[in-house]
């Protein structure tokens, strides 16, 4: 990956938790240009700088933009966090290189809310250049992409994981964490 990590794996799985949206999209679009396959999980926990009210007003202004004569031809307004990340990356990809075919980037990039089964067993990476704790000053407001999406019309926030809300997928996430903890303890015991 970019930013000096020197990773040249066939497919990189990035954990989107506590990454800044724009910085993450910029770095991932550069990686897609270089031919890297990228999967992003937990898109609902990606952060945006600025409070929730400010971001919501910005997104509602964006939702009002449409084609006058045939709105179905106009801008498509995605509400799901994974699709918002995809659209942001598409914007960076177009601004970096118009010669890059979007179909190439589409086949090499996938994004998910939560951690679906093929990726729960793979090693997830972070991008230090995009982490909130390293990029956003202490005390500054921020909001999560999942919360913003739920405010503007995404209906599956409670299904994926609401804070302290026990739903079916939250139980699955809890079981996955327990299994990964057992695996980690076993691996730790083998190395000692």
pLDDT digits (tens, 9 = 90+) for 5-40: 555 678 999 999 999 999 999 999 999 988 899 999
Which residues lie across from 124 on neighbouring strands?
13
pLDDT-derived band at 95, boundaries 50, 70, 90: low
Nearest-angstrom CA–CA distance, 30 and 90? 11
Report the predicted TM-score, pTM, of the whole model to 2 decimal places. 0.79
Helix (H, G, I), strand (E, B) or coil at 41: strand
Residue 99 has pLDDT above 60, yes or no: no
The answer to whether the CB of 93 falls within 8 A of the CB of 36 is no
CA distance 161 to 172: 10
CA 95 to chain centre: 20
Per-residue pLDDT tens over the stretch 173-185: 788 889 989 999 9
The tokens for 192 are 């000692």
DSSP assigned state of 152 = T
3-state DSSP: the chain helix, strand, coil percent, rounded to 5?
55, 10, 35
Asked if residues 47 and 143 have their Cβ atoms less than 8 Å apart, the reply is: yes
């Amino acid at each position: 990956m970019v930013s000096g990590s020197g990773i040249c794996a066939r497919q990189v799985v990035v954990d989107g938790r506590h990454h800044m949206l724009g910085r993450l999209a910029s770095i991932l679009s550069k990686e897609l240009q270089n031919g890297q396959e990228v999967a992003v999980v937990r898109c609902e926990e990606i952060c945006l700088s600025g409070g929730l009210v400010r971001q919501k007003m910005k997104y509602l202004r964006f939702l009002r933009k449409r084609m006058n004569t045939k709105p179905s031809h106009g801008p498509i307004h995605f509400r799901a966090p994974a699709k918002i990340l995809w659209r942001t990356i598409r914007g960076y990809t177009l601004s970096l290189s118009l010669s890059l075919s979007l179909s190439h980037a589409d086949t090499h990039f996938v994004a998910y809310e939560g951690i679906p089964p093929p990726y729960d067993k793979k090693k997830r990476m972070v991008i230090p250049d995009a982490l909130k704790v390293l990029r956003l000053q202490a005390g500054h407001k921020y909001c999560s992409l999942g919360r913003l999406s739920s405010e503007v019309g995404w209906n599956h926030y409670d299904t994926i994981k609401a804070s302290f809300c026990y739903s079916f997928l939250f139980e699955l996430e809890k079981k996955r964490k327990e299994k990964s903890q057992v695996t980690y303890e076993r691996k730790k015991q083998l190395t000692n």
